Amino acid sequence: MKVRRRPNVIPLSLAAFFNDTGSDMLFAFYPLFLVMILGVTDMKVLGFIESLALLAGLLLRPLAGRIADLRGRIGFIWGGYICLALSRVGQGLARSWWHLVPPKMLYEIGRGVRNPPREALLAESVPQEERGLAFGILKSMDTAGAILGPLLGLGIFALLRGYLPLESVYRAIFFFAALPTLVSIWLTSTRLREIGPVEAEGRGGGEISLVSNAFRSRALFLFTAISCLFSLWAVTENFMLVSGARVLGVKAGQIEAVVLLYWFINVTFAPTALVAGRLSDRLGRKPFIALGFLVLGALTALFAWARTFWQVGLLFAAHGVYQGLLSPSQTALVADLAPPAHRAQALGTYSMWVGLFAIPAPFIFGWLWDSWGRPFAFLVSGAFVAVSAILMLFLVRPEKSAQSS
């Protein structure tokens, strides 16, 4: 495939792979670390801290994107990876729940400054007709790290458990989880080159305007609004894991069962992202985004009746299909519709609004669950997600873009 020979595609994708390998090494251990090692009992406080950190990272994205449009993308990308590595070390050193505040903030800030410049640089490194595949490669490599990471985490836990106290083992996993991101820092600081508006089109006048110039496209504005509605009602992986664990009677110490459920998502996400991303270059982004919405709506509604391991497992696999259909096409569409000189800003603004609407989503879903039961919560969520798909099909009409890089 020609896209693999394009500048920046492979370094960015490998960096995503190594970073997500480290991130997901912690997947099975983070909740137990909070409860068993740090003694967290009031989960509302922890939820507030995580929401505050997420808010800070989201609000930073449009600004980071705009400055990256003006000054260049690469420094923001490897700087974001440095923040992510330091965050894991800081969490591993925490002795109390409030020690988690700085590293959690640093983690979301790192993601906030990395993501919009990274996506803009990738979009500008390939022609528009190869953008879907490029984002498919990025997302599938990211997901490959999510498949490998939990295995490495479990392996390190089993290896160290016989030699160190339990608390030291948990902390060591956080330190080990920072190591793959060092490779990401090296790749993005030495193997990338600037392409696109910063190089070819100038710096867009030098002004920093956070909304108007990036969202001149009516289609982009409508797509953002519909994505916000979708984000408000889309069931999260965490609620799926909690529900799946309850249906299957998974005990608190059965880490392997939780990892297996998470695996069902990732083993279908990676190949679907590659195929859907490539097909979106030929058939358009909108059909795959709407289909992703519909798949999530259907599996969310079906989760209300899931009772057996294979029913739950198939729904988790379908969740990976939904993510693979949606993720590369979603990012590629925003990149297609954004003005080239404001591409990172538009990507950052889009992800900020979608992320802001995702913050209250778990509280709404949890309230529906507690008030009317699990089946009702899944049915309502599935219905609103299906409405988002219908709106996407009938309202968003992407303009014929002349913004090929």
Amino acid 200: pLDDT: 41
How far is Cα of residue 207 from the mean position of the Cα atoms in its chain?
29
The model's confidence at residue 155, banded by pLDDT at 50, 70 and 90, is: very high
User: Which amino acid would we find at residue 272?
Assistant: T
Measured CA to CA, the distance from residue 209 to residue 197 in angstroms comes to 16
Residues contacting 180, CB < 8 A, separation 6+ = 18, 19, 21, 22, 25, 145
323 confidence band (pLDDT: 50, 70, 90): very high
Place of tokens 């022609």: 127
Q: What is the per-residue pLDDT across 242-253, written as a single tens digit (0 to 9) for each?
A: 677 666 666 555
> Residue 234 carries which DSSP code?
P
Indicate if the pLDDT at residue 400 is higher than 70: no
Burial letters 31-61, b for 16+ CB under 10 A, else e: bebbeebbebeeeeebeebbeebbeebbebb
Contact between 320 and 195 under an 8 Å Cβ cutoff? The reply is no
Q: Is the pTM of this model over 0.85?
A: yes
Separation of first and last alpha carbons in the chain: 18
Query: Would you mind telling me the total number of residues written for the chain in this entry?
Result: 405
357-383 residue pLDDT tens: 998 888 888 888 889 987 898 899 999
Contact 133, 278 (CB under 8 A): yes
CA torsion, points 51, 52, 57, 63, in degrees to nearest 10? Answer: 130
Q: Which of 261, 326, 245 is nearest to 287 (CA)?
A: 326
DSSP state of 4: G
In the structure encoding, which two tokens stand for residue 353, read together? 């609004």
Q: Which domains does the chain have, with CATH numbers?
A: 6-190 (1.20.1250.20), 212-399 (1.20.1250.20)
Give the confidence band of 256 by pLDDT, cuts at 50, 70, 90.
low
